[in-house]
Amino acid sequence: MSQTVNTPVNQIRHTNIAIVRIKIQKAIFEIACYKNKVLGYRKGIEDDLDEVLQIDTVFTNVSKGEAAKKSDLQKYFGTTNQKEVCKKILLEGELQISPKEREVMFETMFKDIVTIIINKCINPDTQRPYPMGLIERTLKEEIHLTVKLNKSAKQQALEAIRKLKKKIPIERAQMRLKCTFINREEAKRFKQFIKGLNKEEEQVVIEKEDVNVNDQDLEGNSMAFTILIDPGVYRDVYEHVTGVQGELKLIDTAVSEEGEQSIDELKGEHEKKQFTKEHSDNEEGLEEEKVDQKKEEEEVSKKKKKKEKKKKIKEENEPVITKVEEKEDDDDDFGKKKKKDKKKKKQNKEKEIHSEEETKKNQKEEVITLHEEDEEEEEEKPKETKKKGGKNTKKNNKKDKQNVDSEEEDQKQPNKLLLIPKDEDEDEEEENIPQQPMTATQKKKLKRLKKLQQKQKQEEHEEEEIDE
């Protein structure tokens, strides 16, 4: 019987691989590599792609075996060549590593950064390098340095030195070089070049000057200099020396004092620092006092000038302001008086109108009551006449006729009762007229008219008092 084949020939299983991934816009591309070869390729140790890659294909998902389309490669990378795309992904992509491996890589990178800082930097006070524990503590606790696997350790160390200068007194150690020149003229030019570099800061220091360095030089024009320079100036010095056909030798990359410091030296340095600090503090205190005194005097003088200006301005503006204020006060008083007069006139008019209306109402009511009383009296009179008998009937009838006639005349002219009181001339004329006997009803009417006239006089008197 034939045996069954479980795995097909065309199936490739990816085991023990490292995935390098890159993301361009929304598209993701991956390649399958060996774990230990990716870092070697990035550092330049390994050049052969066949030893780095497990397969020369670009995937969108390595675990599922989904290969990328040629149209996507042409769109995002500009080529359809698989090897060129793999090179770009190896250099620019992210290496997918397990968390434990990542921790180990971070620790090794951090230690490399610390060793570079120790080798290249010194304490400017002691001219000796710092211990490793102190720099590690400051980087972790104070600066909170984040290690990046994409950058080199040297590049990250230079960035960390700039941040350490804000926290610790630290400087780059100087380099020791030896420069030789054939002619003395070139040596003079080199000295002038050093002066130009030291205008702002002292970056180059000449330790020694040697003459007749070369045995072939019989005239004795050759010269050599041993100098200390800052690392940032090394490129300028190198270009100047090689441009003049001189020689340059690197003796030491980082100059520092060797050996341990004694306790007496530390005490002496500490005392010197304290003395210099106290002296500088005293000088600064005196200078600050002088500056404060000057500021106070200037402020006092400014205040005086401001006060004088304000006084002058007030004196100039006071008469104008007073006149304007007086005019405004007069206008205000005159306006207030007008308003008060208008209000009084309105009130008086309203009172007059109200009083006239009341008087008219009272007069109408009194006239109506008079008529009603007269009618009642007329109804009562015939009853009394019947009781008295026949003797006085004629007399009573005559009197009744007279009363009826008088009442008719009164009814025809009712408004004559409400006339205003007569003048003195009219009273004299009335006296000359022969007086006729008045009936009882006429007497009652006269009494009521007198009362009305008295009320009118009282009201007029009150209105005159109010107007005054």
Summarize pLDDT for 439-465 with one digit per residue, the tens.
Answer: 777 777 788 888 888 888 888 888 777
Tell me if 14 sits within 8 A of 62, measured CB to CB. Answer: yes
φ, ψ for residue 68, nearest 5 deg: -80, 150
Q: How confident is the model at residue 382 (pLDDT cuts 50, 70, 90)?
A: low
What letter represents residue 174's amino acid? Q
How many other CB atoms are found less than 10 A from the CB of residue 173? 21
Q: How confident is the model at residue 326 (pLDDT cuts 50, 70, 90)?
A: low
**Pick from 456, 392, 388, 444: which is nearest to 419 by CA?**
456
Helix or strand run (H / E) with residue 107: helix 99-120
Averaged pLDDT score across all residues of the chain = 76
What letter represents residue 162's amino acid? R
Q: What is the pLDDT of residue 137?
A: 92
Most confident among 262-271, 357-366, 452-461 (mean pLDDT): 452-461
Q: What is the pLDDT of residue 424?
A: 45
Q: What is the pLDDT of residue 112?
A: 93
Q: What is the pLDDT of residue 215?
A: 52
Most confident among 46-50, 153-157, 349-353, 448-452 (mean pLDDT): 153-157
How many other CB atoms are found less than 10 A from the CB of residue 468? 5
Q: What is the pLDDT of residue 219?
A: 53
Q: How confident is the model at residue 303 (pLDDT cuts 50, 70, 90)?
A: confident
Question: Which residue in the block uniquely carries the two structure tokens 């991934």?
Answer: 21
Whether residue 9 has pLDDT greater than 70: no
Q: What is the pLDDT of residue 350?
A: 81
φ, ψ for residue 255, nearest 5 deg: -90, 125
Q: What is the pLDDT of residue 293?
A: 80
pLDDT digits (tens, 9 = 90+) for 188-220: 888 888 888 888 778 888 888 887 655 555 456
**Pick from 32, 37, 10: which is nearest to 20 by CA?**
32
Helix or strand run (H / E) with residue 60: strand 59-61
Structure tokens at 149: 């696997």
**Could you write out the three-class secondary structure of 149-180?**
CCCCHHHHHHHHHHHHCCCCCCEECCEEEEEE
Structure tokens at 385: 């006449």
**Pick from 119, 134, 131: which is nearest to 172 by CA?**
119
Greater confidence (292 vs 322) lies with: 292
Predicted TM-score (pTM) of this structure: 0.45
With a CB cutoff of 8 Å and minimum separation 6, the contacts of 139 are 110, 113, 114, 145, 160, 164
pLDDT digits (tens, 9 = 90+) for 133-192: 999 999 999 999 999 887 889 999 999 999 999 988 998 888 898 888 888 888 888 888
**Pick from 428, 406, 429: which is nearest to 417 by CA?**
406
Average pLDDT (312-341) is: 62
pLDDT digits (tens, 9 = 90+) for 407-437: 555 544 444 433 444 444 444 444 444 455 6
Structure tokens at 124: 């400017």
Average pLDDT (317-343) is: 61
User: What are the Cα distances from residue 414, in Å, to 367, 369, 372, 390, 399?
Assistant: 8, 13, 14, 35, 22
- Distance, in Å, from the CA atom of 396 to the CA atom of 388, rounded to the nearest integer, reads 10
Instruction: Give, rounded to a whole angstrom, the gap between the first and last alpha carbons of the chain.
Output: 148
CA angle 125, 130, 134 (to 5 degrees): 120
